[in-house]
């Protein structure tokens, strides 16, 4: 039996040995193809372990539960502080070892230094755009750190479980599921600074005790770069970097800015139940806790709790960040009380747009570097109006932006221009609403001068204009006009057209009239002149009604002067010819002789005042030669007359075709077409008249208006004439009428 057994065993080994040999060969081939190459660098954890001077960091990694992650495959950038850096950190924290840090603290230290994707120094300053690398445009990287759900309170003080918005609120989206709102870490490299025109001084402004080496992470210097690992890249740094707060976290925790935070809490923050976050939280933690998203108002430039920047591209947070300037409590309260609440009883009574504008004036959708204050513009399009050396009392680069605490407010144009005097006064809300439709952004331009005549809600009501919300669902058209003396009531767009013409007459662009005690004239934004004298102001409609608007006071703004009027400046609806009849009817009037020719001209309808070719709604200027000048034109045979020169006398009603044509042509040459001028010393030039030559060419009069109240004219024969100031600047319907001391000669 033993012989049989031995034979059997030998037979088995003859069969098994070749099989084992074949399997061994296949495994070797498999390992050669799929196994870890001998030349492959070790993972991040093992490399740090082998170096020997990262014991504290590895202890933190172990305690944080990240050993496996940093030992396995992956694609990370890890900023690794050495043991000497930890000794400094322990001293700053008043502890002696990692043993005194809990797992949560360790996890924060590890995750904030752990960046998604592997970046060598040569790429750290480049931006990963959707279309590829953009060189020298990056100074931040997304980390593995995020806040998640935290305990907080809503605007009423009720305790809530809260999660931050991870998008800027656009009115529709403010939170996206499966986005952890990861924090960013600032990474400063020399090529980025050079490309942006920045220097080490910009870096040291925030980190005065650190030295810019050309590669810094927050306030730490990279002492050894580009250590390639199996699962990424290691950069060794000389300081322990702790998690930077976001803007929302920083202002919430700093009592110096509690008054600014109150504006957010009171007017600009809401909380909405987040079903996805609630379900996830309950499945992990149990219980019935509800999770609410903290939402910033959609009117704001950005949401201070959003770590994702604009998210116009997935990685745009690499290339830019927000900036927020916040005045300290005392400065803010003083400005609110003296400026914003000058006319309002309390902050709750302010229009919400005032709050939007004030807060947005302090918000930038871009990084504002200390050397670039004057050239970096906020959400309202205005530069940072601070001195980085004297006005900034606190400066921080945070996880989602730059923060400056200041000893002054950003003096926004809407609160320092002539527009502000209406905007910040509850008695002028109607005028503010109308200015917003066309003129707001012009009136808040501090580089342009303005004079603004303010009319109150009461004055507009007295003139027949009212807000009527029943007219339209669109606030722009919620207007009603009821003529005070009777007539057809207008609503909606019809009333708005009248109102805008009225309002535009109250705006004088390009000039700051510092006093209306004297006698003057000025062109309004409506293209119609207004006059002022002895602190009274009037437009053409006031002349017709015989009621001037009186100034009850004035205020100076950064770009002009504001006058408060007790009545509106109204436009005239009379036909221009009717005003000429009124001026020239008295036999003692210096306009008398001109009117006599006009009354009998074939281009004029005396009963209505219509002049052929003078269209309603179009601007004109009429130059009327005085009586003596008309007589001279008769003597010079330019106008019809009887007798022999020099004893010719006017024939006001010629019967021949030639005589009638000469009258018509004379009148037309004295009317500027589509142009209104006055003796304001503003506009000069060669302006077209209504008279056409026989070949159809236009004719012109040169107006020299360089000196206030001394306007002169030059006709086609280079003959001069001057406006007679005491009988000039008569205001009509989109027209001015001037008496001149000579007739203007024309040629066919």
Task: Give pLDDT tens digits for 212-225.
Answer: 999 999 999 999 99
CATH superfamily of 417-565: FAS1 domain (2.30.180.10)
Does residue 467 contact residue 432 with C-beta atoms inside 8 Å?
no
Q: pLDDT, tens digit, for every residue of 99-142?
A: 999 999 999 999 999 999 999 999 999 999 999 999 999 999 99
Of 320, 558, 335, the residue nearest 447 (C-alpha): 558
Q: Which whole number is the average pLDDT over 417-423?
A: 98
pLDDT band at 318 (very low <50, low <70, confident <90, very high): very high
What is the distance in angstroms between the CA of the first residue and the CA of the last residue of the chain? Answer: 147
pLDDT band at 19 (very low <50, low <70, confident <90, very high): very low
Q: What is the CATH number of domain 576-740?
A: 2.30.180.10
DSSP 196: T
Angle at 600 between CA 599 and CA 603, to 5 degrees: 85
Distance of CA 392 to the CA centre of its chain: 23
Query: CATH number for the 41-144+207-242 domain, one of 3.40.50.970, 3.30.710.10, 2.30.180.10, 3.40.50.300?
Result: 2.30.180.10
Domain 165-172+245-416 and domain 576-740, same fold? Reply is yes
Q: Which whole number is the average pLDDT over 568-596?
A: 97
pLDDT band at 646 (very low <50, low <70, confident <90, very high): confident
Q: Domain residues of the chain, as ranges?
A: 41-144+207-242, 165-172+245-416, 417-565, 576-740
pLDDT at 240 over 80: yes
Of 595, 559, 551, 550, the residue nearest 577 (C-alpha): 595
Q: What is the pLDDT of residue 748?
A: 86
Angle at 731 between CA 730 and CA 734, to 5 degrees: 140
Q: Any alpha helices (H) in 471-600, and if so which ranges?
A: 492-505, 540-545, 576-584, 592-599
**% the chain with pLDDT above 70:** 95
Length of the chain: 748
Rounded distance between C-alpha atoms, residue 256 and residue 546, angstroms: 58
8-17, 84-93, 149-158: least confidently modelled range: 8-17
pLDDT band at 38 (very low <50, low <70, confident <90, very high): low
DSSP 99: G
3-state SS, residue 264: helix
Joined tokens for residue 182: 């990861």
Give the class (CATH, top level) of 165-172+245-416: mainly beta
Rounded distance between C-alpha atoms, residue 175 and residue 169, angstroms: 8
Neighbours of 389 (CB within 10 A): 8
Q: pLDDT, tens digit, for every residue of 421-430?
A: 999 999 999 9
Q: What is the pTM of this model?
A: 0.89
Q: pLDDT, tens digit, for every residue of 509-536?
A: 999 999 999 999 999 999 999 999 999 9
Burial label, 653 (beta-carbon count in 10 A; 0-12, 13-18, 19+): middle
pLDDT band at 37 (very low <50, low <70, confident <90, very high): low
Average pLDDT over all residues of the chain: 94
3-state SS, residue 241: coil
**% the chain with pLDDT above 90:** 93
Contacts of 712 (CB under 8 A, 6+ apart): 703, 704, 720, 721, 722, 723
């Amino acid at each position: 039996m033993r012989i049989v057994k031995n034979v059997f065993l030998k037979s088995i080994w003859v069969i098994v040995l070749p099989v084992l040999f074949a399997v061994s060969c296949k495994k070797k081939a498999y390992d050669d193809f799929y196994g870890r190459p001998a030349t492959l660098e070790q993972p991040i954890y093992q490399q740090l372990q082998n170096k020997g001077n990262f014991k504290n960091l590895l202890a933190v990694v172990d305690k944080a539960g990240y050993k496996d992650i940093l030992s396995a495959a992956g694609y990370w950038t890890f900023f690794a502080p050495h043991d000497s850096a930890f000794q400094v950190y322990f001293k700053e924290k008043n502890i002696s070892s990692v043993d005194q840090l809990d797992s949560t603290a360790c996890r924060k230290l590890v995750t904030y230094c752990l960046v998604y994707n592997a970046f060598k120094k040569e790429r750290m300053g480049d931006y990963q755009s959707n279309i590829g690398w953009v060189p020298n445009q990056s100074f931040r990287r997304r980390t593995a750190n995020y806040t998640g759900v935290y305990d907080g309170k809503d605007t009423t003080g009720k305790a809530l479980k809260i999660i931050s918005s991870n998008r800027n609120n656009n009115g529709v989206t403010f939170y996206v599921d499966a986005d952890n709102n990861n924090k960013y870490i600032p990474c400063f490299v020399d090529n980025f600074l050079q490309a942006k025109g920045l220097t080490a001084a910009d870096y040291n402004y925030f980190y005065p005790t650190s030295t810019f080496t050309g590669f810094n992470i927050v306030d730490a210097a990279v002492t050894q770069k580009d250590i390639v690992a199996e699962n990424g890249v290691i950069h060794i740094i000389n300081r322990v970097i702790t998690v930077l707060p976001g803007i929302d976290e920083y202002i919430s925790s700093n009592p110096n800015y509690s008054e600014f935070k109150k504006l957010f809490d009171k007017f600009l923050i809401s909380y909405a139940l987040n079903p996805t976050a609630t379900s996830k939280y309950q499945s992990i933690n149990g219980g019935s806790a509800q999770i609410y998203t903290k939402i910033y108002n959609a009117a704001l430039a950005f949401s201070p709790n959003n770590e994702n920047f604009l998210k116009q591209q997935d990685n745009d947070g690499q290339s830019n960040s927000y900036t927020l300037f916040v005045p300290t409590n005392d400065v803010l309260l003083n400005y609110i009380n003296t400026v914003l609440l000058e006319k309002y009883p309390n902050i709750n009574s302010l229009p919400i747009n005032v709050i939007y504008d004030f807060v947005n004036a302090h918000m930038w959708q871009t990084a504002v570097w200390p050397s670039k204050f004057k050239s970096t513009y906020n959400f309202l399009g205005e530069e940072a109006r601070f001195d980085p050396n004297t006005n900034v009392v606190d400066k921080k680069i945070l996880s989602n932006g730059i923060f400056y605490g200041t000893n002054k407010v950003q003096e926004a144009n809407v609160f320092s221009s002539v527009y502000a005097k209406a905007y910040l006064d509850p008695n002028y809300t109607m005028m503010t609403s109308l200015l917003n439709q066309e003129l707001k952004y012009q009136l808040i331009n501090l580089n342009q001068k303005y004079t603004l005549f303010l009319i109150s809600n009461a004055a507009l009501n007295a003139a027949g204009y009212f807000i009527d919300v029943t007219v339209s669902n669109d606030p722009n058209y919620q207007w009603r006009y009821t003529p005070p003396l009777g007539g057809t009531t207008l609503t909606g767009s019809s009333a708005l057209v009248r109102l805008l013409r009225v309002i535009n007459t109250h705006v004088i662009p390009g000039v700051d009239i510092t006093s209306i005690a004297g006698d003057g004239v000025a062109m309004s934004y409506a293209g119609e002149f207004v006059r002022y004298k002895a602190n009274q102001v009037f437009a053409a409609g006031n002349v017709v009604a015989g009621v001037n608007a009186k100034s009850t006071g004035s205020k100076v703004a950064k770009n002009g002067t504001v006058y408060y009027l007790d009545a509106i400046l109204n436009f005239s609806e009379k036909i221009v010819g009717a005003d000429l009849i009124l001026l020239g009817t008295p036999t003692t009037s210096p306009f008398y002789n001109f009117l006599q020719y006009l009354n009998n001209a074939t281009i004029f309808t005396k009963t209505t005042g219509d002049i052929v070719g003078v269209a309603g709604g179009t601007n004109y200027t009429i130059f009327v030669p005085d009586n003596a000048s008309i007589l001279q034109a008769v003597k010079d045979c330019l106008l019809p007359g009887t007798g022999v020169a020099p004893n010719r006398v006017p024939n006001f009603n010629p019967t021949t075709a030639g005589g009638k044509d000469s009258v018509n042509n004379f009148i037309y040459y004295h009317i500027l077409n589509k142009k209104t001028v006055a003796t304001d010393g503003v506009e000069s030039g060669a302006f077209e008249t209504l008279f056409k030559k026989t070949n159809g060419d236009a004719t012109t009069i040169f107006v020299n208006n360089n000196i206030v109240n001394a306007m002169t004219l030059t006709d086609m024969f280079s003959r001069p004439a001057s406006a007679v100031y005491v009988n000039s600047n008569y205001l009509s319907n989109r027209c001015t009428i001037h008496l001149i001391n000579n007739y203007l000669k024309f040629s066919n």
